[in-house]
């Protein structure tokens, strides 16, 4: 009993501190720009509610003051990000409450004041979201026809799964979320070493299910893979698109180009499969970077659009949001944006570059050509050492700084022993890349296990390449010495290559972001001939 009272006291102290923070922030903002008076006075309270299996979920509710006994309000349910407490949404919750929304934010099971074990967005987490709806219905003047779910990262994934599994959730807003958890943690059969380790380490701020660490170990050691993948597929919202489409539930997404935890590719795929109302913002930055300023109440595209989204779908305000293009893409390293009415878009074309062998080229580089290769030659590289081609020498930090400190390399400095470069001629008119670059390549690995990491560069007149995007792919059961055709994706991007610059890809066998399938030395051959065309395909707009 004493422990419970202490917990309640700590919770109340947190609420008080956040309330003071909100008041200070609003005062500072009022000194800069006029702030309209809040439409509603609201109250806050710490709450707990019980899920179907008895798990106790702890959170905070914000309730606007009704002007009549019969007045109801739309509601938004926020679920915490991985390693964050639900109080991360306090500023946004206060803003929504002042605009006439009931807001309930809670810690997902296994985190902080909630009981149970962290379940990694499994059906129990959806049951918890259903229990939150039950609590709202029983304890607040909620409009049951207008309830939305939202969150960043972990909360985004649970919101999407909740939209698919809980019919009382009308719409969801997913920020820095995932479409496929399998592709996030085991992209093209390549374990996410750095981000996987970060997630596992941060899980110990809560109470992780032992299966989390075991699953990560299994991926790194390449054991029990079918079981690990099956578990991740359960937590992948893209697998439940049919449920969302069945009732045309509206979905808002925001994701970031350089998010190496939840790369935008699977969100683009999920978005393309949804048949109901939808909107997608793809922005510069890494995981959560575009959304986190809004947690402080600062203006920014994702949260501004989330407010407009919920105003339209939960309040019925005709604010014109749905007449805007469905997809907005920030162009990396510029202040420009580009929009599309849908995705895939009929305005996006594809261009194919054919790989030509480096053969005896004095530069040590192969070529990217507009026409098919007619030269027969096998290029080869050796594993064992990294090259200067990299997603960033210091993982996470490099990606965090990338919007202001681009990742560059002298293309001539990339090792010709452990890596290979294929480079185009100068582009006469430049090219505006929009979408997912793909590589279809013939290879001959000397071992059953191998890994390739492919980097796409914008190369200027000095031979300096600026990293546009990259992607890994791994083999675990190849036939040594047998030539196979390998298809892979690089991370989606929006990038303008200026006229006079060149496109180039660099290929090596290691990047610090990813786990390698073997520590043994091996070679990879790249046989090129008229009968074995290896091609880079990019999406672009005129």
pLDDT at 296 over 50: yes
Q: Is-contact 510 453, C-beta < 8 A?
A: yes
Mean pLDDT across the stretch 495-514? 98
In a domain, 226, yes or no: no
Same domain, 395 and 329: no
Same domain, 336 and 464: no
Question: For residue 253, what are the CA distances in angstroms to 152, 160, 338, 398, 425?
Answer: 10, 10, 16, 25, 37
SS3 for 472-516 is: EEEECCCCCCCCEEEEEECCCEEEEECCCCEEEEEEECCCCCECC
Question: For residue 537, what are the CA distances in angstroms to 103, 351, 352, 371, 434?
Answer: 46, 6, 5, 13, 12
pLDDT at 146: 98
In a domain, 302, yes or no: yes
pLDDT per residue over 328-385, tens digit each? 999 999 999 999 999 999 999 999 999 999 987 888 899 999 999 999 999 999 999 9
Same domain, 306 and 355: no
pLDDT per residue over 420-446, tens digit each? 999 999 999 999 999 999 999 999 999
pLDDT at 7 over 90: no
Of 323, 340, 357, the one marking the end of a domain is: 340
| Among candidate residues 395, 399, 360, 408, the one with its CA nearest the CA of residue 506 | 408
Q: Kindly tell me the sign of the dihedral angle through the C-alpha atoms of 339, 342, 345, 346.
A: negative
pLDDT at 28: 39
pLDDT band at 1 (very low <50, low <70, confident <90, very high): very low
175: CB partners within 8 A, 6+ apart: 150, 151, 152, 153, 156, 253, 254, 255, 288, 291, 302, 306
Same domain, 335 and 358: no
CATH number of the domain bearing residue 492: 2.60.120.260
pLDDT at 395: 82
Cα–Cα distance measured from residue 264 to residue 176, given in angstroms and rounded to the nearest whole number: 9
pLDDT at 10: 42
Of 340, 357, 372, the one marking the end of a domain is: 340
Cα–Cα distance measured from residue 247 to residue 3, given in angstroms and rounded to the nearest whole number: 45
Domain count of the fold of the chain: 2
In a domain, 23, yes or no: no
Same domain, 301 and 353: no
Same domain, 330 and 389: no
State which residues form the domain around 361. 349-541
pLDDT at 22: 44
Same domain, 439 and 407: yes
In a domain, 333, yes or no: yes
CATH number of the domain bearing residue 168: 3.40.50.1820
Same domain, 371 and 335: no
Mean pLDDT across the stretch 8-34? 42
Of 308, 340, 372, the one marking the end of a domain is: 340
pLDDT per residue over 223-266, tens digit each? 999 999 999 999 999 999 999 999 999 999 999 999 999 999 99
Lowest mean pLDDT among 182-191, 388-397, 492-501, 522-531: 388-397
Same domain, 311 and 355: no
In a domain, 84, yes or no: yes
Provide the mean pLDDT of the chain: 93
Strand partners, 73: 142
Q: Is-contact 50 131, C-beta < 8 A?
A: yes
**Predicted TM-score (pTM) of this structure:** 0.92
Cα–Cα distance measured from residue 416 to residue 418, given in angstroms and rounded to the nearest whole number: 6
pLDDT at 38: 55
In a domain, 291, yes or no: yes
pLDDT per residue over 382-428, tens digit each? 999 999 999 987 888 888 888 788 999 999 999 999 999 999 999 99
pLDDT at 361: 83
Cα–Cα distance measured from residue 60 to residue 271, given in angstroms and rounded to the nearest whole number: 31
Mean pLDDT across the stretch 495-520? 97
In a domain, 527, yes or no: yes
Question: For residue 506, what are the CA distances in angstroms to 476, 493, 537?
Answer: 22, 17, 15
Local structure of residue 374 (DSSP, 8 states): -
Same domain, 92 and 168: yes
Mean pLDDT across the stretch 492-517? 98
Same domain, 332 and 362: no
In a domain, 8, yes or no: no
pLDDT per residue over 149-181, tens digit each? 999 999 999 999 999 999 999 999 999 999 999
pLDDT at 196: 97
pLDDT at 398: 84
Same domain, 331 and 469: no
């Amino acid at each position: 009993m004493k422990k419970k009272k202490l917990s309640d006291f700590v919770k109340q102290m947190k609420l008080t501190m956040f309330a003071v923070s909100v008041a200070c922030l609003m005062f500072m903002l009022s000194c800069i720009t006029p702030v309209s008076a809040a439409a509603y006075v609201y109250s806050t309270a710490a709450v707990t509610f019980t899920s179907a299996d008895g798990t106790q979920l702890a959170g905070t509710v914000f309730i606007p003051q009704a002007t009549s006994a019969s007045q109801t309000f739309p509601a938004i349910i926020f679920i915490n990000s991985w390693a964050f407490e639900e109080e991360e949404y306090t500023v946004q919750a206060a803003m929504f409450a002042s605009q006439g929304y009931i807001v309930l934010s809670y810690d997902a099971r296994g985190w902080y004041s909630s009981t149970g074990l962290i379940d990694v967005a499994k059906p129990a987490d959806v049951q918890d979201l259903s229990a939150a709806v039950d609590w709202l219905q029983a304890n607040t003047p909620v409009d049951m026809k207008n309830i939305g779910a939202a969150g960043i990262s972990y909360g985004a994934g649970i919101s999407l799964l909740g939209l698919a599994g809980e019919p009382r959730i009308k719409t969801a807003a997913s920020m820095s979320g995932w479409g496929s958890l399998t592709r996030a943690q085991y992209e093209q059969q390549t374990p996410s070493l750095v981000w996987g380790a970060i997630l596992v380490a941060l899980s110990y701020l809560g109470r992780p299910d032992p299966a989390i660490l075991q699953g990560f170990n299994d991926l790194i050691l390449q054991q029990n893979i079918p079981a690990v993948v099956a578990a991740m597929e359960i937590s992948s919202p893209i697998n439940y698109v049919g449920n969302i489409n069945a009732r045309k539930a509206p979905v808002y997404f925001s994701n970031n180009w350089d998010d190496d935890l939840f790369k935008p590719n699977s969100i683009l795929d999920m978005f393309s499969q949804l048949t109901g109302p939808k909107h997608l913002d793809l922005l510069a930055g890494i995981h959560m970077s575009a959304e986190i300023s809004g947690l402080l109440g600062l203006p920014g595209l994702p949260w501004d659009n989330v407010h407009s989204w919920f105003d339209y779908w939960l309040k019925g305000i005709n604010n014109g949001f749905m007449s805007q293009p469905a997809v907005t893409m920030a162009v990396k390293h510029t202040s420009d944006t580009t929009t599309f009415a849908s995705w895939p878009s009929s305005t996006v074309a594809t261009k194919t570059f054919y790989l030509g062998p480096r053969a005896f080229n004095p530069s040590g580089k192969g070529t990217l050509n507009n026409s098919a290769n007619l030269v027969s030659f096998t290029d080869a590289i050796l594993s064992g050492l990294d090259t200067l081609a990299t997603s960033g020498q210091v993982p996470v930090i490099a990606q965090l700084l990338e919007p202001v400190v681009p990742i560059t390399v002298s293309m001539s400095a990339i090792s010709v022993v452990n890596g290979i470069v294929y480079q185009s001629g100068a582009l006469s008119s430049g090219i505006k890349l929009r979408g997912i670059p793909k590589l279809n390549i013939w290879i001959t690995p000397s071992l059953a296990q191998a890994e390739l990491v492919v980097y796409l560069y914008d190369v200027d007149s000095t031979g300096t390449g600026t990293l546009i995007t990259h992607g890994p792919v791994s083999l675990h059961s190849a036939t040594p010495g047998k030539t196979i055709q390998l298809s892979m994706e690089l991370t989606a991007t929006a990038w303008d290559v200026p006229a006079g610059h060149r496109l180039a890809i660099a290929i090596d066998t290691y990047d610090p972001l990813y786990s390698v399938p073997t520590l043994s030395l091996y070679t990879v051959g790249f046989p090129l001939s008229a009968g074995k065309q290896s091609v880079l395909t990019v999406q672009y707009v005129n």
